[in-house]
Amino acid sequence: MEATKNYVQSFDGTSLFYQTYGEGQPLLLLHGNGGSSRYFKEQISVFSRYFKVIAMDSREHGKSGNQENYLSFKLMARDILAICQREGLAHVNLLGFSDGANLAMTFAVLYPQYVDRLVLNSGNLEPTDLTWWTRILSQSGYWLTSMVSEISSLAAHFARLLSLIVRPLEITMADLSRLNRPTLVIAGERDSIKLSHTAAIAEALPQSQLEIVPKVGHNLAKDRPEVFNQRVLRFLTEPFIR
């Protein structure tokens, strides 16, 4: 399906790139750390038959810029708001992967009036919620890039990206417990997020379903797209039952 390519300026003048596909209720796709909207190639071709799919490049990712010298999920949530306002969206479904799930949770807590349903694929609230090896790699990478960020713009860029992983989110489980929106929490059995934490997120949310897909890791949507797409479509199109 042919994409409509768009740029919009966020509140601080940052240029944000996003593409739209199809028609219907809006479904906004939020990719993970260091990625871009291209991550969802196998989802866009399917979901755009049922929804108006909006695939954005998050701030300082892909073709989107960043006018600030830092990154945070609260900052990036305001970028989603800019796209909603540009597209004239009163309500939107959000699907987020990894840091995109963290962004979706943050946006939903800050701007719940915009949110219909949430799909959270491998989100987390704290760095300690990562498996130990993932946490060590992320913290080591952040430390190394931060050390040379003043003399290397590329290192500074990666330090900002990694800061999203090594710092706690600016929302809590208590915030999630007040988020009364139908939510699918989905992850692979071999995810780099601890399954106990994934289950805790689902338990905190008042209207949630939990899906753990066997024999697959963090990149569930890429590695098992047929399974992922089927579970997500079922959740988004059928009446919600906890």
Domain match, 160 and 62 both: no
**Does residue 242 belong to any structural domain of this protein?**
no
Which pLDDT value is given to residue 1? 66
Of the chain, the end-to-end C-alpha distance in Å amounts to 34
Tokens 């600016």 appear where? 170
Tell me: do 36 and 136 sit in the same domain.
Answer: no
Domain annotation covers residue 50: yes
The predicted pLDDT at position 18 comes to 98
40 plus 160 within the same structural domain: no
Residue 71 sits in the same domain as residue 85: yes
Task: Looking at the structure, tell me whether residues 74 and 177 fall in a common domain.
Answer: yes
Helical residues (DSSP H) of the chain, grouped into ranges = 41-47, 73-87, 99-110, 132-147, 153-166, 173-177, 195-204, 220-223, 225-237
Q: What pLDDT score does 59 carry?
A: 98
Shared domain for 197 and 232, answered yes or no, is yes
Which residue stretches of the chain have pLDDT < 70? 1, 143, 242
Looking at the domain assignment, is residue 204 inside a domain?
A: yes
Res 242: pLDDT: 67
DSSP assignment letter at 90 = S
Contact 141, 159 (CB under 8 A): no
Kindly state whether residues 49 and 143 are assigned to the same domain.
no
CATH number of the domain to which 208 belongs:
3.40.50.1820
State the pLDDT at residue 121.
Answer: 98
Residue 8, domain member (yes or no): yes
Q: Are residues 21 and 51 in the same domain?
A: yes
**pLDDT for the residue 162:** 87
Residue 84: inside a domain: yes
pLDDT at 27: 99
On whether residue 29 sits in a domain, the answer given is yes
* Two structure tokens written together for 92: 């939107």
Q: Are residues 162 and 188 in the same domain?
A: no
Residues 103 and 219 grouped into a single domain: yes
Question: What pLDDT is recorded for position 174?
Answer: 98
pTM, two decimal places: 0.94
Q: What is the pLDDT of residues 41-70, one digit of tens each?
A: 999 999 999 999 999 999 999 999 999 999
Residue in the block written with tokens 């949770």 = 105
The reply to whether 160 and 222 lie within a common domain is: no
Q: Do 142 and 73 reside in the same domain of the chain?
A: no
Domain that holds residue 136: 131-167
Which pLDDT does position 164 carry in this prediction? 92
* pLDDT at residue number 47: 98
Question: In Å, how far are 48, 75, 182, 239 from 169, measured between CA atoms?
Answer: 31, 12, 21, 31
Residue 116 lies in a domain: yes
Report yes or no on 213 lying in a domain.
Answer: yes
Task: For residue 210, give Cα distances in angstroms to 7, 43, 102, 113.
Answer: 35, 20, 16, 23
Number of domains comprising the chain: 2
Inter-CA distances, 231 with 25, 96, 158, 167, 207, Å: 18, 14, 33, 30, 17
